[in-house]
Structure formats: C-alpha cells, structure tokens
Amino acid sequence: MNLEVTVRQATPSDIPKLKEIIDLSFPRFFRFFASHSVNSEEGKVLVSESQGAVVGFAKLIEFKVGGCKYGCVLWLAVHHKHRRKGVASALVKAGTENLKQDSSEAVFASVNRRNVASLRVLGLQGFKRIGLLDLWRLFSWRVFEFYGDIWYSPTEVVLTHD
C-alpha cells in the first residue's frame, strides 16, 4: 500500500537525513557526488515526508541549451525501509510539475541502463527513452553541452517528459 507522503522543498536541517539516505542508497563512488549535489546551491531538492520523517528526496536542476530552459531529475533515492510504497513516484511527479511550472520546456533524467527500479518509476510517471538521434534533432551540436548539463555517463539512458 502506498505511503501517505507530503512533498516539500528541503531545508538545511534535512541534510543529515539526506546523507543517511544517500549512504544507504548509492555505491561508494556515487555517494560523494550525491552528497555534494544536495548541498549545492544550484537547483533544488524536494523531500518526501511521512509522519514527520524524511523518507526520500529528488534533486532537480535547471539549465539552458540554445536559449531554451530545461529541467532534470538528477538524483532520486528513497530510504530502503520505505521502498515500493510510491514515495519515488510522488517525488518524480512533484519534481516534474515543479520544473514545468518553472518554465522548463521538457524534463530529462539519465539513469543507468540496468537500474530497473528507477527506469520503471520514471516510465510509470510518463518519461520515455530518447536516443541520440532525437536528442540531435532537438539540440543539434549542442547535444554535447546537454550531456554535460545532465551529468550523462555512457552507461546511462536518457529519458524525457515533454
């Protein structure tokens, strides 16, 4: 059964809990980058709260390519005790709405191609895979700038919600 959660913007007092979720959710190599990202002034962090406790977060960023504004769900994690209860889905939905209300033309996410859980969560929230050819049609040679903006790695697939 889905958990009843409220999604809100993170505050500095949430940082220790976010660090705990990061440590429990990501391999060592990625923990440093995820922690740095939630501490960064760039973008925003949404947290999901259940009964007064933070149980997950999404890090969102905005960027411009060729004068157009876009958004990206950069990091997404849920405390392992609260998984499969709709928490990530609620965060992705709220994050996508937030970015679009803030004038993003489209919202992207890039996910390791073997991360079934997050591919599924994003898919259920309306994200679709987009290949290099379609990205090239959208951004032309600026596609490389785009890959840099979303911290793309070749082990990942890009998804979009437009």
Closest to ligand COA by CB, 2 or 103: 2
The set of residues, in sequence order, having a beta carbon less than 8 Å from that of 77 and lying 6+ positions away, is: 21, 22, 25, 26, 34, 56, 57, 88
Q: Is 53 in the site for ligand COA (CB under 6 A)?
A: no
One residue of 8, 64, 84, 113 binding ligand COA per CB under 6 A = 84
Closest to ligand COA by CB, 43 or 68: 43
How far apart (Å, rounded) are the C-alpha atoms in residues 63 and 142? 13
Q: How many Cα neighbours within 13 Å face the side chain of 80?
A: 6
Please state the separation of Cα 148 from the chain's center in Å: 15
Q: Is 121 in the site for ligand COA (CB under 6 A)?
A: yes
Closest to ligand COA by CB, 123 or 141: 123
Chain residues in the site for ligand COA (CB under 6 A): 25-26, 75-78, 83-89, 111, 115-118, 120-121, 124
